[in-house]
Amino acid sequence: MRRTRASSPASWRRRSPVCSYVEFPRGPLAIGDDYQIVPVTRSTAAGRALVLSATDSCRDRPAAFYHWNDRQSLDVAVSIARRNRINAIAIWKFSKNQEPAKEFIEFLFRKENYDAWVVASNAFNQPPLRDLADHPIWAKNPKFAMLPKEAEYAHARGWPSKPNDAVRRIENNYVLPDMVSKSIQGMPVKRVMEWGQDQVVQAVKGQLKASG
């Protein structure tokens, strides 16, 4: 990918459909209050560069979207997550049992153990991960067929808005499942839509209860 100097000596302009520039800020490098960031080395035609790991990038970029409504940062995080393995599991620093917790995570995510867990749960509540796309469980029931590709079509609740209190209230009060239920039970679709819209308006006003 061709690079040219940007206006700031600390930045490089990149021509990309996802990211318009890459910035190299001054240290210390941190994500939130976490200063224990270990960069990884990437080799390019121009030489080696120290960059954030895919996991750290997916910790850092969504924060820019959440705090500053920077849509480009969210797009970058999604693009990285689709192309890399991301470790989204963490252990609290104040935990009294950090080492046993690490050992349990390592045990659980061994392929033979995780596969057994998927089978035991009958595919319930499994994330749409690339590594699970060819798992035999999906062929067990025709109703499972669409699940491995769910991430290609699904969005986070409230998308394209950023997370907010109204979305939480809509989710916690089961507004969308209740709309489906009302329709199945015979309520006319127009009335269902009107009811759903009224619930959304109440959520935005903070009038729906915060917990379901």
Q: Model's pTM, two decimal places?
A: 0.46
Among 59, 83, 107, residue at a domain's last position: 83
Are the C-beta atoms of residues 180 and 192 closer than 8 Å to each other? no
Segment 48-77, tens digit of pLDDT: 888 888 888 888 888 888 788 888 888 888
Nearest CA to 57 out of 71, 33, 43, 40 is that of 40
Nearest CA to 5 out of 41, 43, 61, 46 is that of 46
- Which pLDDT does position 5 carry in this prediction? 33
- Which pLDDT does position 23 carry in this prediction? 60
Rg of the chain taking only CA atoms, in angstroms:
22
Give the domain range for residue 130.
98-147
**Both tokens assigned to 140:** 């067990």
Strands, E, within 125-171: which ranges? Answer: none
Residue 91 lies in a domain: no
The enclosing H or E element of 48 equals strand 47-51
- Which pLDDT does position 71 carry in this prediction? 82
Segment 79-93, tens digit of pLDDT: 888 788 787 787 877
Q: What contacts 184, CB < 8 A, 6 or more positions away?
A: none
Residue 137 lies in a domain: yes
Residue 126 lies in a domain: yes
Q: What's the number of domains the chain is made of?
A: 3
- In the chain, which stretches have pLDDT less than 70? 1-26, 212
Same domain, 103 and 126: yes
The DSSP secondary structure of 80-109, one letter per residue, reads HHHHS--------TT-S-HHHHHHHHHHHT
Same domain, 74 and 27: yes
Residue 19 lies in a domain: yes
Same domain, 51 and 8: yes
